[in-house]
Amino acid sequence: MCGICGMVTLTPQCRIDEALLKSMCHVIRHRGPDDEGIHLVDWSGGQVALGNRRLSIIDVAGGHQPMSNEDGTVWVICNGEIYNFGDLRDRLIGQGHKLRTRCDTEVLVHLYEEKGTGLLEDLRGMFAFAIWDAEKERLFLARDRLGQKPLTYYIDEEGIVFGSSIKSILQAPRVPRTVNPDALHHYLTFQYVPHPLTMFRGIQKVPPAHYLLYERGRAKVERYWLPAFAEERDVSEAKCVERLRGVLEEATRLRLISDVPLGAFLSGGIDSSIVVGIMSRLSATPVKTFSIGFEEENYDELAYARAAAARFHTDHKEYIVVPKAVEVIPEIVWHFDEPFGDSSAVPTYYVSKITRENVTVALSGDAGDECFAGYPRYNAMRFVGLADRVPRPLKSLLSRVGWGGLSASVDEGRTRRRIKKLLRALAHPASRTSMTWVSILDEDSKRFLYTEDFASEVGGADSHEFIAQYHEMAGKTDFVGRTIFADLMGYLPGDILTKVDIMSMANSLEVRSPFLDHKVVELAAAIPTRLKLRGKTGKYILKRAFGDLLPERIRTRGKRGFSIPIHDWFRHELADYMKDVLLDTATIQRGYLRRKAVERLIEHHMSGKWDNGNRLWLLLMLELWHREFIDRRPRKG
């Protein structure tokens, strides 16, 4: 696990300062505290710079980066892990390549020599890497299939600047710090900035399952992988169970390869319990597991985590998160680079922190919900899919009856608000209706909050387009399948995996999830919805496949999100802090939001009339990000 950065310039006169490259590395040293390496060389059009910070996991002594092939014509820097590197290494040696290390990164250089950009189809892992091909004079950037590792870039007339972190890119003086209004608009919908945008105008993300080729000032971004979702068909449940057990166990085994101590997150949910159960079967010693809880009973899951820990005889540790967590908010804001509105970043930070005090690598259950229909909203999506067949006039009538005015969408409690928004959205395409369940603020609510000037600047930008593209790409599967596909392509990398990567790397911890193995994802995609969602039971086939591992109280428990009691904290311990930030004169003068609209959100939340906790956190993170990254230059780390 590492952090990478670099640049390519287009003219001999545009020289790269070695001090700048080292500054780009230094600002991401938390991603790789063990080692630093740089490579700076001329090419016919200018200069190339590659930088790396390393968290040593495989071949601790020999894995220094950047790495090259035998004659120094191909160089690589990589963030992540290639889990099948052993097989690839043996194959490459058999083809005559000379590998100097046991490190997984080195196989990329030689595999590139054999297959060029086609090497991506052979990789099983999580990664973001950069390859400089001196003979072709091109830069090759690539990101893993599900988007576990971040990769961002900036292109102008002088060349390209790239990195694992936007902070590295911002070290280049020529990169502007200006807000992208469309990105802000989408952030207020999704609580993250969807790819390929970032909150900075001109800086973009390489999307998951894409690569970028940069040759003499020209950039081409291409997709290289897409899971194929199943249409309804006859398929043996027993066969699905057998294949699922085999593929997930293999994916877990591959993720146990490490030269440093390893453990697991254990929430007490289905997914993490299955992962820990498989680990326990494969390990000769007790698995080290880590959980967090809260003083507020409705948010605490430690009883389930303890049940799983007892079932698998793990070496278990716990931590209680309390409202003074506000002390880490500035640290969290700095690490994310962009505003990030999912408040579960706070417990993720803490579980990563206590885990890193004991191990360097942790396995998790991330993506189990997206692969196997674990979210309760998928039940609603079955209704949406059926309703989409209703004649338009009848849908329009239901929509008008269900909608009670704009103020409701801004202020109402979660369940009632979603029901009314769901009914209202029936008049629209089903993909827009599905956004009801993933939107923090819908289009009308945002327009209600915006100042006239900012509404004009955003213009006709519509966040629905980000979701709609994936519903179209999903093919002929049913609507639940299309929704799952959209979550895998959008919500999972934009929210869940961003959160886990940034918060774990903030603590120099590597996190691996067997459910994110692309072979697991492809198998899950091929399983019909009826075997994932049976009645009201999500993850049906997963529970069938691993029922022998799960304690009864975990197997039959309802779904609970990984969240913090921010709604209560904003009414009590953090109320003054929240109001001081959101109603500060400087906040209002940014010109994004109307003061009276923000005051109403706060007033209705404080009175207990409505639950606006998630919206207020969303706005709080936006303002704190603005103060850190726009008002002043980011600190160096």
Domain span at residue 67? 2-223
Number of domains in the chain: 3
> Same domain for 124 and 105?
yes
Q: In this structure, is residue 405 part of a structural domain?
A: no
pLDDT confidence of residue 408: 42
How many whole angstroms separate alpha carbon 340 and alpha carbon 337? 9
Residues 557 and 576 in one domain: no
Residues 433 and 549 in one domain: yes
In this structure, the answer to whether residues 533 and 470 fall within a common structural domain is: yes
pLDDT score, position 383:
77
Name residue, tokens 């640049």: 7
Q: Are residues 509 and 577 in the same domain?
A: no
Say if CB 597 and CB 449 are below 8 A apart. yes
- Indicate whether 77 and 134 sit together in one domain: yes
The model carries a pTM of: 0.93
Domain containing residue 511: CATH number: 3.40.50.620
520 & 591 share domain? no
Residues 434 and 505 both lie in one domain: yes
Does residue 236 sit within a domain? yes
CB-based contact 315:286 (threshold 8 Å): yes
Domain membership of residue 413 (yes or no) is: no
Q: How far is CA 469 from the centre of its chain?
A: 19
Q: Are residues 474 and 348 in the same domain?
A: yes
Domain check: are 454 and 534 in the same one? yes
Domain-terminating residue out of 201, 223, 245:
223
Q: Among the three residues 564, 587, 617, which one is the final residue of a domain in this structure?
A: 564
Q: Are the C-beta atoms of 124 and 82 separated by less than 8 Å?
A: yes
| Residues in the chain with pLDDT values less than 70 | 1, 232, 296-300, 323, 325, 387-427, 558-563, 633-637
Domain boundary among 564, 587, 613: 564
Query: Is the separation of the CB atoms in 79 and 55 below 8 Å?
Result: no
Token readout for 450 is 């915006």
Same domain, 557 and 571: no
pLDDT at 298: 67
Task: Report yes or no on 71 lying in a domain.
Answer: yes
371 belongs to the catalytic site: no
